[in-house]
Chain A
Amino acid sequence: MAAFHLLGSLPLSDCVKLCHRLVDGLCGQQPPRREDYSSIWTLQQWLELLNSLTTLFCEAVGHKLSNEKVLARLCDAGSGPAEAVLSVLRARQAEIHRALQDRTHFISSATLQDFDWQLGLALSSDKISSLHTPLLSLSLDVQEKGVLRSVAIEMNQEELAALISSLEAANKVVMQLK
């Protein structure tokens, strides 16, 4: 089932590059693009290769596999590509470790991916000529079951204070766990 033998059809330097891009994707950056390799592998082969490499990286870092064990799993790739994959794995071990840890922290079904805020000053409205009310618009990017969903909230001063106090209470609970 492991598709490591497919790596043999790639020059060694490209193989290293592909593995690095793959780790980039694992750490939340752009994953490698299929167009760059479409002449070498079919879609199915590509997916298989990606899948097995990702699994290998995750397990090797997660289980702290030794070099020999990793090489044993890579046995059908040939010695050159296997060494390349191993070198990439060792070079990026800390980063993969970190990314996996981050994923472990997402213990609930919905997780906050990113947030953005803007502070505005409403000078007047259609009824009141001079308003001077500060407003905060907060947008949260929430990932729920693999789908990114954007939540936008606009708050005035009191609502913001309420939100902050509830967040602080939550933080206190987290701090107690420490």
Chain B
Amino acid sequence: MEEVDKILIQALKQVGTEVSEETDSVKQFTSELIVEAVVRCIRVIEPGLGGALPTSLPPGMSARFRVGMSLAQACQDLGYKGDIGYQTFLYSNEPEIRSLLMFLVEKLPRESAESSDQPTGKSVVLQRSIAAALRAQLAVPWLPPACRLPLQTQTQSLGSMHSFQVQPLSLPLGPPASEQTLLKGEDSAGLCPLRVSLSSEYRRDVLRPVTAQLSSHCTTAASLLERHTAELSAAHEWDVEWKSQGLLSRLTPQEYRSRKLSRLRKRIEEQLRSATLPAADGAAAGPASSSSSADLSDLLQSFRSSSASDRLLTKGTHFTHTQKFTFAQVRPARFPQDVMAAVSPAPSGGRSEGDAAQRRQDELDVLQQQLQELNGQAERLAADMRLMTLLSLQVKDELKQRERGNAEEEDRIHVKKKTIDLLPDADDNLLQLQAVMEASSQRLVHLAAQWEKHRTPLIEEHRRLKEIRSSQDLESSRKLSEIKSLHDKIRVSTEESRKKEETYKQLVSELDSLPQDASRSAYTQRILEIVSNIKKQKEEITKILTDTKDLQKEINSLTGKLDRTFAVTDELVFKDAKKDESVRKSYKYLAALHENCNQLIQTIEDTGTILREIRDLEEQIETENSNKTMANLERILEDYKAIRQENAALAAKVREG
């Protein structure tokens, strides 16, 4: 019964009845609660029917009676077949109320169950939550800023109007390790420790906290987040690159970095050089140059025309420096000439203002023309110079080649001269030569043998080392591939775990959003348990039944036996009784015994029936007791008195009126 009551109370709560936490069974329901529960159920089932009914009992007794009557009528209209009347509500008894409430709860429409059966996709959940949030925000009135409570500042404050703007921060964490090493590498020796101590001093004494570094507080979070994201993404990029390319190059990270840096520098230098050549040669390169180099030459033109004050903008990277050095040679060469040209036609005193202005303008034009000419000349000269240096280089090369040829020729002449010297004493010299040749060939053979002796172990050593190397290579590449696969695995499993966590979160949120009633499976389990209990009980009942049947059979057979034995004994004794007096006496005793035993059996049976009756009566008493008859009777009496008083009062009123 407890579970039934729990389900009933749950359902009643859903309908809107205010059942307190302590009430956990129908037994504890008061009349007011019963009336409220029934009325709310009826309102949900049949709004038209329940609309006229009040949810609470009125104070007047006769009014209460009428409410009870109308409620009973409404329940009968809904199709309740049980016994129902005003007394059901006013003088409640547990079983009746339970059956009535069960009927009503079963009649409740199942919309809530249907709605929870709908597929709850992510988008549906999102849209529902958006709708709920909008509804909540619309319900809150707009307030002027001064009157806002913390609740309203969340949705109405200006905080959301600030854009997410970022300002650079100065953090004591320092640049990433790579840059530090790079800077250290460039430092001249001995500067580094000094600088470290200076910067730590700066951090201790001067550096302001992050919140004070910015012009407005709104940007603090944004700036911090941006900084963090930038560092994170840089670290991530390096990680990816290192795993994909760095590992394969088989270098330490520092070596890999420095190699990459030098490669980049070389590339940029090449680009710049290829771009400067056409710029220096004027229009010689023409439209043939590619678009990228044209862009770069534009850029370089802007570098050239930049004056000294613009040096602020030319930064400390290596390539700009080299660039500046190359052009530093060009610029000073040009300047003195320009200055000379500008100064030489000195002003020769003023006549009238207009004339002077006119003349100045003319002069300016002339000077500008001269300047342009000179510029052109200078450029041409520079180009010539370059051409000349190139030519001189070529000429030097040629010279070297010639010298080398000369030396060869001289050698050859030397040999020939010796041969000619040897010619006069030809035979002797021939013999000598042959001897020398033989000796030298023998020496050669000897040397070859020695060489061979040395060579073989060396070659073997070489082969062995080669083999070792190849095996090591194999090993290392195997390990590399292992590392790679491990990295992949790590990535995949992190992704998987993240996904699973997300699903878990979603499921948890769905679980939270589900209504918290007792679960369906628990009910089914309970029902199954009850069914199995019933089965067990049924088996026991059949066992008892068969036992009873056996007993009956035994009793029957015993009675038959007894009857037959008695008949036989009776006959035998009766035969003898006619002859003997003592036997007659025993016959009498036998008859008396038989009769007494019959009486005894009868009495036992009677006791059994009486016991059964007693049990029936006890049960009846119990049910009557559970109906709270006495209490109800007292209440009925009180109510009756109240009605009589009301009636009397009404009658008095009528009389007075």
* Residues in chain A within 8 A of chain B (CB atoms): 16-17, 20, 24, 27-30, 54-55, 58-59, 61-64, 66-67, 87-88, 90-95, 97-98, 100-101, 103-104, 107, 114, 116-117, 121, 123, 132, 139, 141, 177-178
Which residue of the partner chain, among B130, B206, B214, contacts A16 with CB atoms under 8 Å?
A: B206
Whether B186 contacts A64 by the Cβ 8 Å rule is yes
User: In the complex, which residue of chain A has the Cβ closest to the Cβ of B319?
Assistant: A104
CB distance from B129 to the nearest CB of A (A): 12
Task: Tell whether B640 is near chain A: CB-to-CB under 8 Å.
Answer: no
With an 8 Å Cβ cutoff, the count of chain B residues facing the other chain is 41
Which residue of the partner chain, among B167, B214, B299, B316, contacts A100 with CB atoms under 8 Å?
A: B316
Q: Which residues of A contact B260 (CB under 8 A)?
A: 178
Task: Tell whether B115 is near chain A: CB-to-CB under 8 Å.
Answer: no
**A124 and B312 alpha carbons, distance in the complex (Å):** 53
Question: For window 441-479 of chain B, which residues contact chain A by CB distance below 8 Å?
Answer: none
Q: Which residues of B contact A141 (CB under 8 A)?
A: 165
Whether B175 contacts A114 by the Cβ 8 Å rule is no
User: In the complex, which residue of chain B has the Cβ closest to the Cβ of A123?
Assistant: B130
Q: Which residues of A contact B199 (CB under 8 A)?
A: 90-92, 94
Whether A20 contacts B316 by the Cβ 8 Å rule is no
Known contacts A24-B170, A116-B165, A132-B127: does B316 contact A90 (CB below 8 Å)?
no
Whether A55 contacts B316 by the Cβ 8 Å rule is no
Whether A29 contacts B213 by the Cβ 8 Å rule is yes
Task: Tell whether B195 is near chain A: CB-to-CB under 8 Å.
Answer: yes
Main secondary structure of the interface of B (DSSP, over half): helix
Known contacts A87-B198, A101-B317, A132-B127: does B168 contact A54 (CB below 8 Å)?
no
Q: Which residues of B contact A54 (CB under 8 A)?
A: 312
Nearest 3 interchain pairs by C-beta: A62-B316, A28-B168, A104-B315
Task: Tell whether B504 is near chain A: CB-to-CB under 8 Å.
Answer: no
Whether A103 contacts B299 by the Cβ 8 Å rule is no
Whether A91 contacts B168 by the Cβ 8 Å rule is no
Whether B317 contacts A17 by the Cβ 8 Å rule is no
Q: Which residues of A contact B321 (CB under 8 A)?
A: 62-63
**A149 and B283 alpha carbons, distance in the complex (Å):** 37
* A-B contact list, 21 entries, CB within 8 Å: A17-B206, A20-B202, A29-B213, A30-B215, A62-B316, A62-B321, A64-B316, A66-B188, A67-B191, A91-B195, A91-B201, A92-B202, A94-B183, A95-B170, A100-B315, A103-B313, A103-B315, A104-B317, A114-B166, A116-B163, A178-B264
**A20 and B510 alpha carbons, distance in the complex (Å):** 55
Known contacts A88-B202, A91-B202: does B315 contact A28 (CB below 8 Å)?
no
CB distance from A145 to the nearest CB of B (A): 13
Q: Which residues of B contact A29 (CB under 8 A)?
A: 167-170, 213-214
User: In the complex, which residue of chain A has the Cβ closest to the Cβ of B212?
Assistant: A30
Q: Which residues of A contact B183 (CB under 8 A)?
A: 93-94, 97
Whether B168 contacts A27 by the Cβ 8 Å rule is yes
Task: Tell whether B174 is near chain A: CB-to-CB under 8 Å.
Answer: yes
Q: Which residues of A contact B313 (CB under 8 A)?
A: 103
Q: Which residues of B contact A101 (CB under 8 A)?
A: 315-317
CB distance from B181 to the nearest CB of A (A): 12
Q: Which residues of B contact A59 (CB under 8 A)?
A: 311
Q: Which residues of B contact A88 (CB under 8 A)?
A: 202
Whether A114 contacts B311 by the Cβ 8 Å rule is no
CB distance from B224 to the nearest CB of A (A): 14
CB distance from B489 to the nearest CB of A (A): 26
Q: Which residues of A contact B130 (CB under 8 A)?
A: 121, 123
**A30 and B165 alpha carbons, distance in the complex (Å):** 15
**A123 and B126 alpha carbons, distance in the complex (Å):** 12
Whether B170 contacts A93 by the Cβ 8 Å rule is no
CB distance from B254 to the nearest CB of A (A): 18
Max chain A Cβ within 10 angstroms of own Cβ: one of B168, B215, B321: B168
Known contacts A27-B170, A104-B317: does B215 contact A90 (CB below 8 Å)?
no
* Residues in chain B within 8 A of chain A (CB atoms): 127, 130, 163-170, 174-175, 179-180, 183, 186, 188, 191, 194-195, 198-199, 201-202, 206, 213-215, 260, 264, 267, 299, 311-317, 320-321
CB distance from A110 to the nearest CB of B (A): 15
Q: Which residues of B contact A17 (CB under 8 A)?
A: 206
CB distance from B646 to the nearest CB of A (A): 59
Q: Which residues of A contact B264 (CB under 8 A)?
A: 178
CB distance from A87 to the nearest CB of B (A): 5
Max chain A Cβ within 10 angstroms of own Cβ: one of B206, B260, B311, B317: B206
User: In the complex, which residue of chain B has the Cβ closest to the Cβ of A113?
Assistant: B166
Known contacts A27-B168, A29-B167, A63-B321: does B315 contact A90 (CB below 8 Å)?
no
Q: Which residues of A contact B315 (CB under 8 A)?
A: 58, 62, 100-101, 103-104
Q: Which residues of A contact B202 (CB under 8 A)?
A: 20, 88, 91-92
Excluding A91-B195, A97-B316, 17 further A-B contacts by CB distance (< 8 Å) are A17-B206, A24-B170, A58-B316, A59-B311, A62-B314, A67-B191, A90-B199, A94-B179, A94-B180, A94-B199, A98-B179, A100-B316, A114-B166, A116-B164, A117-B164, A132-B127, A141-B165
Q: Which residues of A contact B170 (CB under 8 A)?
A: 24, 27, 29, 95
Whether B175 contacts A90 by the Cβ 8 Å rule is no
**A78 and B199 alpha carbons, distance in the complex (Å):** 23
**A49 and B175 alpha carbons, distance in the complex (Å):** 29
**A107 and B321 alpha carbons, distance in the complex (Å):** 16
Max chain A Cβ within 10 angstroms of own Cβ: one of B168, B260, B315: B315
Q: Which residues of A contact B201 (CB under 8 A)?
A: 87, 91
**A66 and B194 alpha carbons, distance in the complex (Å):** 13
**A91 and B198 alpha carbons, distance in the complex (Å):** 5
Which residue of the partner chain, among A107, A117, A123, contacts B299 with CB atoms under 8 Å?
A: A107
Q: Which residues of B contact A61 (CB under 8 A)?
A: 316
Q: Which residues of A contact B317 (CB under 8 A)?
A: 100-101, 104
User: In the complex, which residue of chain B has the Cβ closest to the Cβ of A86?
Assistant: B198
User: In the complex, which residue of chain B has the Cβ closest to the Cβ of A59?
Assistant: B311
CB distance from B161 to the nearest CB of A (A): 11
Q: Which residues of B contact A55 (CB under 8 A)?
A: 311-312
**A58 and B313 alpha carbons, distance in the complex (Å):** 9
Whether A90 contacts B311 by the Cβ 8 Å rule is no
**A61 and B186 alpha carbons, distance in the complex (Å):** 12
CB distance from B138 to the nearest CB of A (A): 13
Whether B175 contacts A94 by the Cβ 8 Å rule is yes
Whether B164 contacts A90 by the Cβ 8 Å rule is no
Q: Which residues of B contact A97 (CB under 8 A)?
A: 183, 316
CB distance from A118 to the nearest CB of B (A): 9
Whether B165 contacts A20 by the Cβ 8 Å rule is no
Which residue of the partner chain, among B169, B175, B191, B195, contacts A98 with CB atoms under 8 Å?
A: B175
**A20 and B201 alpha carbons, distance in the complex (Å):** 12
**A61 and B183 alpha carbons, distance in the complex (Å):** 11
Q: Which residues of A contact B174 (CB under 8 A)?
A: 94
CB distance from B267 to the nearest CB of A (A): 8
Q: Which residues of A contact B180 (CB under 8 A)?
A: 94
Q: Which residues of A contact B314 (CB under 8 A)?
A: 62
**A107 and B272 alpha carbons, distance in the complex (Å):** 14
Q: Which residues of A contact B167 (CB under 8 A)?
A: 28-29
User: In the complex, which residue of chain A has the Cβ closest to the Cβ of B313?
Assistant: A103
Q: Which residues of A contact B163 (CB under 8 A)?
A: 116, 139
Whether A114 contacts B195 by the Cβ 8 Å rule is no
Whether A58 contacts B312 by the Cβ 8 Å rule is yes
Q: Which residues of B contact A132 (CB under 8 A)?
A: 127
Q: Which residues of B contact A114 (CB under 8 A)?
A: 165-166
**A67 and B201 alpha carbons, distance in the complex (Å):** 18
Max chain A Cβ within 10 angstroms of own Cβ: one of B163, B183, B264: B163
CB distance from B195 to the nearest CB of A (A): 5
Whether A63 contacts B316 by the Cβ 8 Å rule is yes
